[in-house]
Amino acid sequence: ALAAALAGVSGAGATRDGHAVALLANIGGVDDAEAAGALDLEGVGLFRTEFVYLSAQTMPTVEEQAEVYRRVLAPFPGRRVVVRTLDAGADKPLAFANLGEEENPALGRRGLRLCQAMPEVLDSQLEALAIAARETGADVRVMAPMVATADEAAWFAARVRAVGLPKAGVMIEVPAAALRSRHVLEDVDFGSLGTNDLAQYTMAADRMEGELSDLLDPWQPAVLDVVAAACEGGAVTGKPIGVCGVCGESAGDPYLALVLAGLGVSSLSMAPSKVPAVRLALSVHTLDECRELAGRARAARSASEAREAVRAAASAELTAI
């Protein structure tokens, strides 16, 4: 029954009443890009670029970077590719740009903070991406990781525009940015929620600590409240908010996808294998039904109650398979 149901829907993601929710892939290199490019997907919602830098002993030249980016972008002419700029830090150290050891790498000079200390690293990455975008015709949108304030977002957007890339965004993975999203989004074009870090920082639970996985569950009502706050700022500013990372095993959970759509996100990025089930789940619910499910999840007092409440209330067309 599942295979037949999955085969019954294809193409762009949408709710039953036609509200678009773009379905995108998470990729981390050339092989992933080639595999995802061949699939029925609207593009890429998270291209993690760390592999270009973490193994390099010296800063790669703009041309060396552009060559890698050409290969990643080549399968996506005319399709969206959201590129996350370098997300290095004390736990993912760069040989050529090391700011030293830190007591708490997750709270340290990582992501955009590291690029603010070494802007030449970010500028060369952006330049290489602009070259590869022009040559491949991919619809490249770049976003910065670990943004906490509106000033950081504005700083990043100015550097993106300086190289001629048309769209700049921010990852919303720090609760401060989610709570203040109407200001953080002012100078950028979009936001993208990363719930791995958003859950870690909301719940004060190290994402690498397996013993804390219950706290890191993306169904935690507190995490859903923070996501909702981010989406409210998106609605006020008219800026789209997507989701590009959902913690651990739950990535591509079709029930969570309904809740996220109900909270207002307009794209979902995941491991490509999860896309068909998410597409099907959306196609059998209206946007109002998704909103209603989101309300049920946020009214629950625990992650497991939220999950159960949504499963129980979701369309029988989904629960039957």
Please give the structure tokens belonging to residue 167: 């769209």
Is residue 220 involved in binding ligand PEP (CB under 6 A)? no
Is residue 244 involved in binding ligand PEP (CB under 6 A)? yes
Select from ligand PEP, Mg ion, none the partner in contact with residue 152, using the beta carbon and a kind-dependent cut-off of 5 to 8 Å.
none
Is residue 202 involved in binding ligand PEP (CB under 6 A)? no
**Chosen residue from 13, 175, 194, 233 binding Mg ion by CB under 5 A:** 194
**Chosen residue from 197, 217, 253, 289 binding ligand PEP by CB under 6 A:** 197
CB atoms within 10 A of CB 263: 26
With CB under 6 A as the contact rule, which of the stretches 136-144, 179-187, 189-197, 313-321 interacts with ligand PEP? 189-197
Residue 57: partners with Cβ closer than 8 Å, 6 or more residues away: 95, 96
Using CB atoms within 10 Å of the CB of residue 160, give its burial: 0 to 12 exposed, 13 to 18 middle, 19+ buried. Answer: buried
Is residue 42 involved in binding ligand PEP (CB under 6 A)? no
CA distance 243 to 265: 7
Is residue 46 involved in binding Mg ion (CB under 5 A)? no
For the bound state, the minimum distance from the C-beta of residue 259 to ligand PEP, rounded and expressed in Å, comes to 16
For the bound state, the minimum distance from the C-beta of residue 110 to Mg ion, rounded and expressed in Å, comes to 9
Kindly determine how many residues on this chain lie close enough to bind ligand PEP according to the rule CB under 6 A. 10
**Which residue carries 């109407």 as its tokens?**
182
Residues 223-242 that bind Mg ion (CB under 5 A): none
Select from Mg ion, ligand PEP, none the partner in contact with residue 195, using the beta carbon and a kind-dependent cut-off of 5 to 8 Å.
ligand PEP
Select from ligand PEP, Mg ion, none the partner in contact with residue 244, using the beta carbon and a kind-dependent cut-off of 5 to 8 Å.
ligand PEP
Q: Return the half-sphere exposure (C-beta side, CA atoms, 13 A cut-off) of residue 206.
A: 9
Is residue 197 involved in binding Mg ion (CB under 5 A)? yes
CB atoms within 10 A of CB 44: 30
**Chosen residue from 139, 173, 217, 253 binding Mg ion by CB under 5 A:** 173
With CB under 6 A as the contact rule, which of the stretches 13-21, 183-191, 194-202, 217-225 interacts with ligand PEP? 194-202
Kindly determine how many residues on this chain lie close enough to bind Mg ion according to the rule CB under 5 A. 3
Strand spans (E) along the chain: 22-27, 43-48, 80-84, 139-144, 168-172, 190-194, 241-245, 267-270
Please give the structure tokens belonging to residue 72: 């990643």
Phi, psi dihedrals of residue 199, rounded to the nearest 5°: -70, -45
For the bound state, the minimum distance from the C-beta of residue 312 to ligand PEP, rounded and expressed in Å, comes to 27
The CA angle 312-315-320, to the nearest 5 degrees, is: 85
Residues in contact with ligand PEP by CB under 6 A are 46, 48, 87, 173, 194-197, 244-245
